[in-house]
Amino acid sequence: MAKQDEVVFGIHAINELIKRSPERFIELFLLKGREDERLMPIINLSKKYGIPAQMVNRKVLDDKTKGEQHQGVVARITQGKNYTEADLDVILSAAEKKGQAPFLLILDGVTDPHNLGACLRNADAAGVQAIIVPKDNAARLTATVRKVAVGAAETVPLVQVTNLARTMKQLQQMGVWIIGTAGETDTCLYDITLNGPMALVMGAEGKGMRRLTREHCDQLVKLPMAGSISSLNVSVATGICLFEIVRQRLTL
């Protein structure tokens, strides 16, 4: 595989990607003997766009995905676009033209690819325009992330920034209100107004946000926890917070 190529696997991830960017596909590998109703849409799309497809045994697919759950389909594609700070203005300008207020998700120190994939899926469902992550010490867009995101990796830009605190300050200067989640605050998520230009910051499980990130938040909030466990999985907490923002926006 060439250095600029990527491997993608999973039915939903490949199906969504082939619909949106068929030109990126170099070749498909499909499990021999499996031509069921779940794989047929991918097979038909590959024929429609002239994408070379091979029927291979399970070991070939297992080797290509290093043992990950590939669901009987693997693709080799050209490398996608890497979003940077320069793209944020374009993303927000496009949202403004649609009459949408900024709605962003910032992940600080989230390194687990399964959590990033789940956060992408949450973000897509909630209508988030982009996820912002630091360039260092953060999960990247990998085949595992794409599979967990079930297509959302193709709809929500993942913007990598070199200085997260500086980016947050720039967003504030644009009128974006930044809220961060922190267990030590007394303010509950459900007690504040969340219906304007908004960015939600979620920190890594256990450590939470870094000090500088926390200091650049306009407001810190927490989720009410009634049980003995002190925190939720970051993707679960992200979904709860995002949809509280959605709920308040819908009731305007």
How many percent of the chain have pLDDT more than 70?
A: 96
Name the segment(s) of the chain with CATH classification 3.30.1330.30: 5-78
More confident residue, 47 or 183: 47
Contacting residues for 83 by C-beta, under 8 A, at least 6 apart: 91, 130, 157, 158, 159, 160
Please state, in angstroms and rounded to a whole number, the distance separating the CA atoms of residues 138 and 106: 11
Q: Which residues of 206-222 are buried (b: 16+ CB within 10 A; e: fewer)?
A: eebbbeebbebbeebbb
Q: Which residues belong to the annotated binding site for S-adenosyl-L-methionine?
A: 203, 223, 232
220-232 pLDDT, tens digit per residue, is 999 887 766 667 8
Please state, in angstroms and rounded to a whole number, the distance separating the CA atoms of residues 107 and 105: 7
Contacting residues for 17 by C-beta, under 8 A, at least 6 apart: 8, 24, 25, 75, 77, 146, 151, 154
Question: How many angstroms separate the Cα of 24 from the Cα of each of 5, 20, 86, 121, 203?
Answer: 9, 9, 23, 22, 33
End-to-end CA distance of the chain: 51
Q: Which residues belong to the annotated binding site?
A: 203, 223, 232
Mean pLDDT, residues 167-188: 93
85-250, CATH topology level: Alpha/beta knot (3.40.1280)
Whole-number pLDDT of residue 206: 74
One-letter amino acid at 215 equals: E
Please state, in angstroms and rounded to a whole number, the distance separating the CA atoms of residues 180 and 205: 13
Place of tokens 């990130």: 213
More confident residue, 200 or 150: 200
| Mean pLDDT value across the chain | 91
More confident residue, 184 or 90: 90
59-86 pLDDT, tens digit per residue, is 999 999 888 889 999 999 998 888 988 8
17-41 pLDDT, tens digit per residue, is 999 899 999 999 999 887 778 889 9
Whole-number pLDDT of residue 229: 62
pTM here?
0.89
89-118 pLDDT, tens digit per residue, is 999 999 999 999 999 999 999 999 999 999
5-78, CATH topology level: 60s Ribosomal Protein L30; Chain: A; (3.30.1330)
- Residue 188 is given by DSSP the state B
Whole-number pLDDT of residue 46: 93
- Paired tokens of 176: 């974006």
